[in-house]
Structure 1
Amino acid sequence: MKAFMTIGTIDFLQKLAAKHEDIHFHLMNSSEGSLAYYEDEPKNIFSSGRAYEVVIQSGLLEEEGYVVMNNIPVTDDGRAIFEERFKDRQNAVDKLPGFQAFRFLRPTKGDTYVVLTQWRSKADFENWKNSEAFKKAHKGTSTKPPAYFPNKPFITTYHMHDPEEDED
């Protein structure tokens, strides 16, 4: 399965979604801007978007919720090791209160993977980060990044776009 995303103003992304009514877009907002995401379609309609292979997925993306994207640059030599680590992961996150969806996305171009999780609320995500399940899932990871991370990973967060907020 493929996934695609791009950033822009919410007005631009809504117009794009209206132009492509056959595609189910997930629109998200943050203090940095807005993002459109869709998956399970054969082609990328974004002129400057990013494309991914969905390597692992669980849950369904909901129209409401809090999205956390861990953006992780990985060298070509490190891809197999990095992907194995996620394929072997315990599915503990999937069973936590407030969990909605998980996507492990491999870039089709570039080196930055995305680990996307969607939660019912930011509080649910924070509860996961402070849980024993989180500690267990990240056991053995050191504070020093692996050699196959050419750059420091970074996190982006979003709230799913609420069209009713546009009416205010």
Structure 2
Amino acid sequence: MHAYMTNGTLDFLLNLIDQHPEHHFYYMENNKNVTVYYESEDKSVFESGRDYEIIAEEGTLKKQGYVVMNNIPVTEEGRPIFEDRFKKNKKRMEGVPGFSAFRLLRPDKGRTYVVLTQWSSETDFENWKTSDHFSAAHADQGTKHPAYFADRPFQTHYHMIDPDEVQD
């Protein structure tokens, strides 16, 4: 399965719904831009965008909620180690309050993986960050970044946009 993302204006991106009714698009925004995301076995419908292979997943994406994307540049030789860490943790978020979905996305081009998590709310995400579950999940990382990081990771945060509410 593949995942695709692109950015643009909300008005332009909302046209994708009519142009490609065969796909289920997820719309999200932050203070910088609007992003649309979808998953498919087919080629991307975006003229310019980012293409990924879904390496690991849990849960179901929803039209509403809060999304956090950890963007992690990984060295070529570090890819197998990085991916294996996520593949081994089946049901990693089971039972975490407010958790909706997780995706580990390997880039088709470049070296920056995306660890996407979706939450019912920003508060649920913040509560998870201070939980014992979070501490246990990140215990082996210590204070330094693992050797397979090619550069410093960064996060992007989004609030979901329900297209049905915007188009009414």
What range describes the TM-score normalised by the shorter chain of this pair? over 0.9
Query: What are structure 1's unaligned runs of at least 5 residues?
Result: none
Residue 59 of structure 2 aligns with which residue? Answer: 59
Instruction: Measure how far apart 1:166 and its partner are.
Output: 5.9
Residue 31 of structure 2 aligns with which residue? Answer: 31
Instruction: Measure how far apart 1:108 and its partner are.
Output: 1.1
Alpha-carbon contact 2:67-2:160 (below 8 Å) kept: yes
Amino acid at match of 1:97: P
Alpha-carbon contact 2:58-2:91 (below 8 Å) kept: no
CA-atom RMSD, angstroms?
1.4
Residue 143 of structure 2 aligns with which residue? Answer: 143
1:32 to 1:166, Cα distance in 2 relative to 1, 3 A: farther
Alpha-carbon contact 1:70-1:114 (below 8 Å) kept: yes
Instruction: Measure how far apart 1:93 and its partner are.
Output: 2.1
Deviation per CA, 1:98-151, whole angstroms, max 9, x where unpaired?
111111111111101110110000000011100000000000202221222121
Deviation per CA, 1:33-70, whole angstroms, max 9, x where unpaired?
10000002311111111111111111110111101110
**Structure 1 length-normalised TM:** 0.93
Residue 50 of structure 2 aligns with which residue? Answer: 50
Residue 13 of structure 1 aligns with which residue? Answer: 13
Q: Distance in 2 between matches of 1:92 and 1:75?
A: 24
Q: Distance in 1 between matches of 2:140 and 2:22?
A: 44
Q: Distance in 2 between matches of 1:143 and 1:32?
A: 29
Instruction: Measure how far apart 1:91 and its partner are.
Output: 3.2
Q: Distance in 2 between matches of 1:73 and 1:11?
A: 31
Please identify runs of 4+ aligned residues in structure 1 that moved more than 4 A.
none
Query: What are structure 2's unaligned runs of at least 5 residues?
Result: none
Q: Distance in 1 between matches of 2:87 and 2:21?
A: 34
SS in 2 for 1:93: coil
Within a 5 Å distance, the mapping from 1:1-168 to structure 2 comes to: 1-89=1-89, 91-163=91-163, 164-165=165-166
Alpha-carbon contact 2:23-2:40 (below 8 Å) kept: no
Q: Identity over aligned residues, as a percent?
A: 54
Q: Distance in 1 between matches of 2:105 and 2:5?
A: 11
